[in-house]
Structure 1
């Protein structure tokens, strides 16, 4: 038998009394860890990958308003990103914003390339 506010690992907290939801919703947002793309890419290629993701993201499910809030948060400084996700009611599962949920339990997965630049980013010539 679990605690009153317990939820399965990796699952969003259920509605109702707020159980674990408050702790999840107030998780501190942080910058993603450094990552490396399989091959060096230019800033233009990275921008194109990001644009393609954001253009198609609402088709993965969830609410367009949440996707829009996540995009603004991903393109903002950490302190502003924290404010954005809190005001949009986003439940942050991974502090780097790679996995989030909305208040209805819909999952939002963000690839690292929309959250930060790779270590092997090259300047365009």
Structure 2
């Protein structure tokens, strides 16, 4: 793993893993609020109970963060995991009118925290489509 790939994986990996660990003690009220936000982008998540959603989000964040941090996970696989995570986050951003300006792309003040997840999508693309080591 080169220094560039290390940065692309370690920084978002540590951030996402920490987020998942931080949600371990989340109460059902908070889980319900987050589920409502998530369901705006991925409607099927609204069918989960608050407890099921909590397990889903905590497990997902810990799994994605760990995949990025573990050096034996190939870049493409880690990038696909991050890409799925970023796609879910961006679906909430693009499907909530209050998060984007009238053009549907630029963030409003409320949308800025979600718009930052575009960087995660770019990192995922770099990991999936980046060049691997050349064999000799």
Larger RCO of the pair (alpha carbons < 8 Å, separation 6+) = 1
TM-score normalised by the chain length of structure 2: 0.28
Name the structure where strand makes up a greater proportion of residues.
1
Name the structure where helix makes up a greater proportion of residues.
2
TM-score normalised by the chain length of structure 1: 0.30
